[in-house]
Structure 1
């Protein structure tokens, strides 16, 4: 009897559903930018196809610090319009989606040796609060570190203010924009590549030949527009599309490490490193604290997606400078590593520290080839970027009316060893959230791989049997489940164990 393979059957049905379809827009890249653009266009009634070679949010969007910043970064350059725009965007997230985003307190701490003039910092905080329309908590000065017994002595003279954070995770934030419109006239395909993209100049249509990377199913679709939201791969995709853009990306590698959250850590702490204008944050996230990030310029994408021992050593040094406990590799729960795309003009040739480059987004419209490319951006501004794209699409394609979002229901919850909170069940995620692999589930549908040491396996692999049972949910038989488990164990050894062994 042939083994039951629900993942493969669902993929076959999905590729049959889209085969031969003509879409208004195909969005390439399902990170936070692509997901928000997809949601915005679907909500306007457009027929949209979302594609990603990996899982949803499997690139830069899975390696954030969970922060929804206003425009504080741009205050030092006196870029007041950008400051105001990003503050309004931050506040809109808090007001519109309180189930996803909440206000959070921050405490900026200087050491005994102040590297920034405290009076200028205080004035800047007040100005920032005013430009945010007085909506956030009034910034306080002269704040000490009382009650934070895990900090080293001498951390005082701080300033308190308020920003926003994601409630659950960056991956969930992305996924929640995709799933309500992933069925019906629109579609969202993860682990899917467009292996050939051809523009028909006479019909003004793109032909996309699609292939499921895990199961091999194929389909052909056509689309009137392509939105290239591939993040750090935007330049590469534009080369394939034949688009000559005036912009490109510089790349910055960012690494966080997580440790067990100190009991009295409630607000996000920001420490002045005194180097390159950089800061070091310690932010509570569930049972862990995210410490980081690093900022390292990279010229090769392959070099950017794996944390190196030197990244970990740098972060541990900052932890030891600011926290009482002398943390070592054995105290690290997980590592997060991503590559930030920083938008620059194509002719930009300076070699500068990534912090000197803007996090602003840029949008390029190639009207002759019907391609819109988006560059840069951040969690805060993804809605602003999506609105710019929507306006460009609306100028060429008449909207069809309001789209209808599907309610996803409430998933059954399960317990995972070592977690104080429950997680959505693996079968639910497989059947309702396009969760295709063991890693999709542990890393992006849940926070198991980030909150339990060694990708959920446990410090001594004590959770192996539990993860084996989860692997069976995504596999046609026990042999395939064992192969999936072995592959996941190998990836944990490479991305976690091997790195820490070199520290």
Structure 2
């Protein structure tokens, strides 16, 4: 039986301390924190892990420099501490990076004043990064020739961090941590109904993929459904003091724009004096984001969105040819669930762009529900700890927090992996221009499970071959995903377990001879149907 089938069997008829509803970053980190402290945990999501808001981020781990503008100093301090902690805990996955913010005559602040803010930001962040720098326009051109400095007065560079891999993969690392600690976590299982029966919740669930009905029970429910939190709370009659409003943000993935010797985020103020960025993603650049108030969590990129970002970046970069829609390799579009207090009308008078990405944890003692509202990737460890504290206050006993539910393996384990990989000459298996060493990538993505990949390649050298040439993925990795990563649809693998969908043009995927083999490894006899579903969805998205 597959890992997913076995997990569903565990959930069906089971009794857990906590049922976590929602498998985005908040749900995944909550499940990991609770399971890591000895609670029995079930985690369900009606889609794939990290498949909604959590897969549409900027891949940035940052302390909220722009929140200084509204004097949200406690929030910035907390986010900077979280950023520093994540960098320390995930040194291969989360790395420090410079943000070079160019300031022209239309920018709201002169360079010297922005420099003071950057210095204050560095101090608030407890000097956890390299110090900020102040650049003249001439120095900006020297550092980043692609920037059009004709109207630039100067620039500042401050430091934050970014995810080397994709955000959904990072979410899955917490799901994997929860599973290893004994949790029952499964995707594509939706919550149908709930009822409170004396000391427990009875939840009726449905496997979206097979239609199977199942029932489970738990003492406490954690609502981690992101932008759907208010709707889900209505199901079991819970009302919170805060509510969610949504802001849409988009990103465009294009060929690499920067020519610098090292990775760096470029920051600009657009024509409406909102910050947007050019973020490195390997051989690609990610342009974004926008900030548009919306009434529904379901969003899409419009022509207006695309044209706005392309216009803004073309104004600020000195490119040989302006970027057009044809240069867009892929798009990201999602909503930010923003927290506001209830009782403020319909929030029409709220300064939309000033709302921060803070999170609020609320506890309903009568219904035994903990609600996670808002938040962002940077603050995920705090969310996990705070949820665990509230669950404990609801009567679920937890063990002492030893911090073993997050972070990368010990340095000694990493050194041993690199030693074995070096003896195998792993990095000589394939060499491609502008790609990181294979050893680095396998360790970052798989941690301890990377040892299994080495063993597989030793036993069968063909497992070290690329399956899809343009996607840079080994055959052994596909087998790893099939066995351990609960891949239900081809999109799960292409978009979330990997970032192939983000960095490879659709036609390169469709024409790849390896695509059918990938489907066969992942789905066996069901490969043709899964591949057809994926290609139909891609074709429909292109038509749209």
Q: Normalised by the size of structure 1, how large is the TM-score? A: 0.90
The structural deviation recorded for 1:347 is: 2.2
Pair 1:113–1:209, CA change in 2 (3 A):
closer
Pair 1:149–1:462, CA change in 2 (3 A):
farther
Equivalent pair of 1:15/1:218 in contact (CA under 8 Å):
no
The structural deviation recorded for 1:291 is: 0.3
What does the per-residue CA deviation read over 1:38-57, in whole Å, with 9 as the maximum and x for residues that have no partner?
Answer: 11111111111111000000
Pair 1:360–1:402, CA change in 2 (3 A):
closer
Pair 1:437–1:111, CA change in 2 (3 A):
same
The structural deviation recorded for 1:233 is: 1.0
Q: Which residue does 1:3 correspond to in 2?
A: none
Gaps of 5+ in 2: 410-446, 454-463
Q: Matches of 2:313 and 2:397 in 1, distance apart?
A: 54
Q: Please, which of 174, 179, 194 is the counterpart of residue 176 of structure 2?
A: 179
Q: Matches of 2:529 and 2:473 in 1, distance apart?
A: 29
Comparing 158-167 and 316-325, the one that deviates more: 316-325
Q: Secondary structure of the residue that 1:340 maps to in structure 2?
A: strand
Comparing 396-405 and 26-35, the one that deviates more: 396-405
Q: Which residue does 1:439 correspond to in 2?
A: 491
Q: Secondary structure of the residue that 1:475 maps to in structure 2?
A: helix
Q: Matches of 1:217 and 1:36 in 2, distance apart?
A: 27
Q: Which residue does 1:369 correspond to in 2?
A: 367
Q: Please, which of 329, 336, 358 is the counterpart of residue 360 of structure 1?
A: 358
Pair 1:81–1:14, CA change in 2 (3 A):
closer
Q: Which residue does 1:409 correspond to in 2?
A: 449
Q: Please, which of 263, 287, 302 is the counterpart of residue 308 of structure 1?
A: 302
Pair 1:408–1:17, CA change in 2 (3 A):
farther
Q: Which residue does 2:540 correspond to in 1?
A: 494
Comparing 368-377 and 105-114, the one that deviates more: 105-114
Q: Secondary structure of the residue that 2:76 maps to in structure 1?
A: helix
Equivalent pair of 1:280/1:292 in contact (CA under 8 Å):
yes
Pair 1:316–1:263, CA change in 2 (3 A):
closer
Q: How many residues align?
A: 480
Q: Secondary structure of the residue that 1:102 maps to in structure 2?
A: strand
Q: Matches of 1:299 and 1:423 in 2, distance apart?
A: 43
Comparing 348-357 and 44-53, the one that deviates more: 348-357
Pair 1:242–1:114, CA change in 2 (3 A):
closer
2:204 counterpart of 1:209: yes
Comparing 347-356 and 266-275, the one that deviates more: 347-356
Q: Which residue does 1:429 correspond to in 2?
A: 481
Q: Which residue does 1:165 correspond to in 2?
A: 162
Q: Matches of 2:268 and 2:106 in 1, distance apart?
A: 12
2:264 counterpart of 1:267: yes
Q: Matches of 2:399 and 2:339 in 1, distance apart?
A: 33
Pair 1:312–1:129, CA change in 2 (3 A):
same
Q: Normalised by the size of structure 2, how large is the TM-score? A: 0.83
Q: Which residue does 2:330 correspond to in 1?
A: 334
Q: Matches of 1:339 and 1:114 in 2, distance apart?
A: 26
Q: Which residue does 1:242 correspond to in 2?
A: 237
2:311 counterpart of 1:317: yes
Q: Please, which of 91, 102, 105 is the counterpart of residue 84 of structure 2?
A: 91
